[in-house]
Chain A
């Protein structure tokens, strides 16, 4: 099971699905865009992560009805969204502490 803290690729995939459902290629592009080109997932890495998230029930797979290609799309489950929210809160807390400590050191 995916546990907190999440790895960067998994976090970026979940963030990509947070706004709306996406299919595989759209996730790849969004992850690259969100990370400013720093994280470029290969299809092997992407589908390995998607399979684990599906197994853990963090995301679900469904058929895209509005496309002619009949591609599979992925969306967050309530459990996945809750876990993502926990992770973001954890990161916020960490960033807050880090900022305070760095500021204290500078003064």
Chain B
């Protein structure tokens, strides 16, 4: 488990990992030793909690590095989390974290593959213009409008489900008196 924890720490930006990595591992080890004494369910709970927290933390740190600390303060996710009227569903957060982890791992993998391969790019031949016939063009246009219509319908459906169209029916306190 400690190995997995160390691997996931690699999702953090290097500067952050260098400063806090050893400390985080040490704290995780202390928490693990304590929970181990309490039994397996307690230990499993800790592992799930820690791994989720670690992925969330990595996402926030990567965004902070990407956007810069000044801009990052405009999006304090933790603060939103604490407000009862606006909460990110846990599934959304988890999905975002999984996507980020996938992207970071894919980038690392691509770098490794690129470094291992010799530069054997074949010479590019003469570029020929793409030839569109009439019927494929019509089919493409149909597909485009179909997708645009589906997106529009989805937006309207989502707005309808949110009840936003009923806001106009609400009387203000002054009117209701």
Q: Which residues of A contact B (CB under 8 A)?
A: 1, 7-10, 24-25, 28, 40-51, 55, 69, 71-72
**Contact status B31-A45, CB under 8 Å:** no
Residues of chain B within 8 A of A28, CB atoms compared = 27, 31
**B56 with A45: CB separation less than 8 A:** yes
- A72-B23 contact given A1-B73, A44-B54, CB 8 Å threshold: yes
Stretch at the interface among B45-53, B85-93, B122-130, B163-171: B45-53
Flag the segment in B57-65, B105-113, B142-150, B154-162 that touches A: B57-65
- Cβ contact of A71, chosen from B23, B49, B73, cutoff 8 A: B23
* A75 CA to B76 CA, complexed, in Å: 23
Given contacts A7-B79, A42-B52, contact A47 B20 (CB under 8 A): yes
Are A55 and B56 neighbours in the complex by a CB distance under 8 Å?
no
Contact status A24-B23, CB under 8 Å = yes
The residues of A that contact B24 with a CB separation of less than 8 Å are 24, 43-44, 47
Among B23, B54, B56, residue most surrounded by chain A Cβ atoms (within 10 Å): B23
CB pair A25–B31 under 8 Å, yes or no, is yes
Least CB separation from A42: chain B residue: B53
B55-A44 in contact (CB<8A): yes
Q: What's the Cα separation between A5 and B69 when bound, in Å?
A: 20
Bound form: Cα–Cα A105–B76 in Å: 35
Known: A24-B27, A43-B31, A45-B57. 7 other contacts (CB 8 A): A24-B24, A44-B55, A44-B58, A47-B23, A69-B26, A71-B23, A71-B26
B85 to chain A, nearest CB (A): 15
CB pair A24–B49 under 8 Å, yes or no, is: no
In the assembly, what is the distance between CA of A23 and CA of B94, in Å?
29
A30 vs chain B, min Cβ distance (A): 13
CB distance from B172 to the nearest CB of A (A): 22
* B82 contacts chain A at the CB level, 8 A cutoff: yes
Question: Considering the chains assembled together, what is the distance between the CA atoms of A25 and B30 in angstroms?
Answer: 7
Task: Tell me, rounded to whole Å, the shortest Cβ–Cβ distance linking B83 to chain A.
Answer: 9
Give A47's nearest chain B residue, CB to CB. Answer: B20
Contacts of A42 in B (CB 8 A): 49-50, 52-54, 56-57
In the bound complex, residues from chain A placing their C-beta under 8 Å from that of B78 are 7, 9-10, 49
Knowing A7-B82, A71-B26, A72-B23 touch, does A43 contact B50 (C-beta < 8 A)?
yes
Q: In the bound complex, do residue A43 and residue B79 qualify as a contact, i.e. CB atoms below 8 Å apart?
A: no
